[in-house]
Amino acid sequence: MTAPRITRDSTALLVVDIQERFIPVIDNADGVVENSVVAIRAARELGLPVLLTEQYPKGLGSTVPDIVDALGDAYEPLEKTTFSACGVEDVGARLRHGDIGSVVVVGIEAHVCVLQTALDLLGQGYDVFPVANAISSRSGENRTLGLERMRQSGAVLISTEMLIFELLSDARDPNFKTLQSLIK
């Protein structure tokens, strides 16, 4: 069995529900936002598709400003009420249209929306890479359980540094210095 790899030509980043009214109650919220911003900037620098969902924005507010800033003109929230981002027709359509085989996932909550999204993506045949330091829940216990269930189901847990260096794959890559600066 070949281990799944993250490659530029077949990977998308999915940002799940990092919203204003929800983030204050999330364990390690600052770390989640900071590491999600790093993942978004790396993806944008390398031209990867970036999709973003918002869970019931009328109740939970919009995406936090740091994420919106990192996305720039690519900020196009996909509104949802289903816990899984795969319940949004546009998510599946955009992944299929882009010939995507791997999905890197950041967001909240690990044991609900991120988990159900990861399970659905795995069920659809995608390689799924949850960025563990850019995912959390209201409690550390639920974060741990959500990440463990994703791992047990076939997702490959990574960190933002793992993401960056796997996307680069060579220190001679012209983007090396720019992306390395994101994690210093």
The residues that are catalytic are 17, 80, 113
Cross-strand partners of 78: 53
Instruction: Find, among 96, 149, 151, 106, the residue nearest to 126 by Cα.
Output: 96
**Could you give the 3-state DSSP secondary structure of residue 53?**
strand
- Exposed, middle or buried, 47 (CB in 10 Å: 0-12/13-18/19+)? exposed
| Distance separating alpha carbons of residues 118 and 180, to the nearest angstrom | 27
Encoded tokens for 161: 């540094």
| Distance separating alpha carbons of residues 32 and 28, to the nearest angstrom | 6
Instruction: Find, among 158, 55, 147, 149, the residue nearest to 110 by Cα.
Output: 147
